[in-house]
Structure 1
């Protein structure tokens, strides 16, 4: 959630609750101009490393 704090400090807003599915985490925010961004982090079981993706 550390990535969300700068967006909120710049008067952005969250538009949904954090989603934690144990293998994947997601949370989103809306910019000042109300564009919505959803950030997802998926844990690859074989590699054990987080993989980040964003949809906007």
Structure 2
């Protein structure tokens, strides 16, 4: 599974996107898709962002 497929089903991404920094999260996710990361790598990156924002 690639980043784009993962982001379509990710609860973590939906939660971050709906938060106060949603636009930044969407921009970051777009860059992850461009980098062609695998799903696990995308999850790790988003999990790190969630930790930093909390």
Query: Is the TM-score greater than 0.5?
Result: no
- Bigger Rg over Cα: 1
The structure richer in helix per residue is 2
TM-score (norm 2): 0.28
Q: Greater share of strand residues, 1 or 2?
A: 1
